Amino acid sequence: MSITRTLLIDADDTLWENNIYYERVIAEFVAALGQHGVPAHRAHETLWETEMRNVKITGYGSNAFCQSLHEVARELGVTDLELQISQWENFILHHPIELMTGVRETIPRLHACNRLILLSKGRDDEQLGKLRRSGLEPYFHVTEIVFDKTVATYQSLIANHRLTPSETWMIGNSPRSDINPAKAAGLGTVFIPYHTTWQHEVEEINADGGETLVLETFAQLADHFIKEIP
Q: Is the dihedral of CA 49, 53, 58, 59 positive or negative?
A: positive
Q: Which amino acid type is present at position 28?
A: E
Q: Is 31 exposed, middle or buried (0-12, 13-18, 19+ CB in 10 A)?
A: exposed
Q: Is 54 left (phi over 0), alpha (psi -120 to 50) or beta?
A: alpha
Tell me which CATH code domain 19-94 carries.
1.10.150
What is the residue extent of each domain of the chain?
6-16+99-225, 19-94
> Is residue 84 predicted with pLDDT exceeding 50?
yes
Across the chain, mean pLDDT equals 92
Query: Which helix (H) or strand (E) element contains residue 191?
Result: strand 188-191
Residue 28: the pLDDT is 97
pLDDT tens, position by position, 145-201? 999 999 999 999 999 999 999 999 999 999 989 999 999 999 999 999 987 654 555
Looking at residue 230, its pLDDT comes to: 37
DSSP 8-class letter at 117: E
**Secondary structure (3-state) at 6:** strand
| φ, ψ (nearest 5 deg) of residue 171 | -120, 125
CA distances from 68 to 34, 97, 146, 206 (A): 17, 24, 20, 30
Question: Does residue 170 sit in helix, strand or coil?
Answer: strand
| CATH tag, 6-16+99-225 | 3.40.50.1000
Query: Could you read off the pLDDT of 148-164 as tens digits, one per residue?
Result: 999 999 999 999 999 99
- Count of alpha carbons within 13 Å of 9, Cβ hemisphere only? 29
- Which are the contacts of 150, defined by CB distance < 8 A and separation ≥ 6? 181
